[in-house]
Structure 1
């Protein structure tokens, strides 16, 4: 499995390169604490503006049927910590334990997804070199001989990363995508954050998924704060989210590399350092 050190913490140690910088974190509330902590360690003021709420699927029928027939699957694919949490919570509620997964190989997208799986005592069998679904598809084990391989993909009810289903199916695999959790936009922005936007005190807004970009856009429309984005750095965790930023917000200023929260923190630090250098250039 690939390993990437927590570069933000290691690089800057006791330094506070984001001191004086206010960063908005748009992740769902149950996922934002870790990122807020990373930003605060490098000196930022981090404000949590949850643009998504996560909850169970509208029906467990397909998920329950898949769990009852786990013995038929060769692979299980997770692309988010939410997928892991809701899948394993349902597995337990139905009276099973993780031993039923002993003969199934597990693939994940993303470092944090892998770490969450290991918190449940489960082993990651495949981890792509880049933290995106395209990388999983391109480097999937034995991808030239997937005919008849049965894959279970617990995904977002509204549709997850459909390219996983389409591409692996085209390679001969039998992919069963089952709705495992839902996410919806939250429309209420905390008063503190509303005031910070309208008074021009926000320096950076961060995005970790395309849906958070869409939900954020709707939220700022409600408080008539769209124009203030012109002076705010838009920071994305990776290329898929960056594409959504360009489509919905017309630009992206910062993209993480690697596509992790540590990488995103690093990218914001580098943006701030470049901004400082530019600000200190003599006027000719």
Structure 2
């Protein structure tokens, strides 16, 4: 039987379990984390805004636990996907809204359609996030956007990627955000055009395309 090609997963090790189970049908798996999450303390201003918000918006599971330990149990919570919903439930909160598609665009549009009345929202994000969510929601709602965590490249990532490449080689890479793609692109020493690039969704796929490469969506493998 022909050996399976090797796929690199780029999330933090603790976030790769579901992806690894999915991809092992098609690939051998290697992991090099391109993201280190550093939680930031909430300022007094952020705590007041959190208290004043009817809704909490999470487009990533990364800030969920650190934010919810300060949140009101009566807060309504909107999340981008099932994994983020599970993290909310782990913290003892219920989820009022899950985006039907795991993109910011779909989340904002579908939430606005379901909840058209003006309200207040607390949006927790990283220093790398764009301003799409607050720009769209601010048209009728009051949005408190706060950087509650930093998404950084681990110090050992470049050497770890080099070691994996030299040890066994990789034929494919799974990328879960534009920042993960940019980091991989900047530190990978091999020929990227020789790799199969897989993207979690259309936002990451577009970021890869902007740099002149093609990526297949994960959903196309199912």
Q: Which residue of 2 is the match for residue 128 of structure 1?
A: 99
Which ranges of structure 2 fall in alignment gaps of 5 or more residues? none
What is the CA-CA distance between 1:85 and the residue it aligns to?
2.4
**Which residue in 2 is equivalent to 1:101?**
73
Of the candidates 24, 49, 52, which is equivalent to residue 35 of structure 2? 52
The separation in 1 between residues aligned to 2:128 and 2:121, in whole angstroms, is 16
Q: RMSD value over aligned CA atoms?
A: 2.6
Q: 1:145 Cα deviation (Å)?
A: 3.2
Partner residue, 1:239: 202
The answer for the alignment partner of 2:4 in structure 1 is 20
TM-score after normalising by structure 2: 0.86
Q: Aligned pair in 2 of structure 1 residues 72, 203: CA closer, same or farther (>3 Å)?
A: same
The answer to whether the Cα contact below 8 Å between 1:169 and 1:175 also exists between their aligned partners in 2 is: yes
**1:112-142 C-alpha deviation (Å, 9 max, x unpaired):** 1112112222111112221111112112245
Could you say if the C-alpha distance between residues 233 and 132 of structure 1 is closer, same or farther in structure 2, counting changes exceeding 3 Å? same
Q: Which has the higher strand share?
A: 2
Q: Partners of 1:107 and 1:33 in 2: how far apart?
A: 24
The superposition leaves residues 50-76 of structure 1 with CA deviations (integer Å, 9 ceiling, x where unpaired) of: 11111123x532xx4333454421111
Is 2:3 the counterpart of 1:33?
A: no
The aligned residue for residue 3 of structure 1 is: none
Residues 180 and 202 of structure 1: CA distance in aligned 2, closer, same or farther (over 3 Å):
same
Structure 2 match to 1:80: 60
Q: Is the 8 A contact 1:28 1:50 kept in 2?
A: yes
Instruction: Give, in whole Å, the separation in 2 of the partners of 1:190 and 1:169.
Output: 39
The residue that corresponds to 1:112 in the other structure is 83
Q: Which has the higher helix share?
A: 1
Q: Which runs of 5+ in 1 are unaligned?
A: 1-15, 92-97, 258-266, 271-284
**Bigger-Rg structure (1/2):** 1
- Counterpart Cα distance in 2 of 1:101 and 1:144: 23
TM-score, L = length of structure 1? 0.69
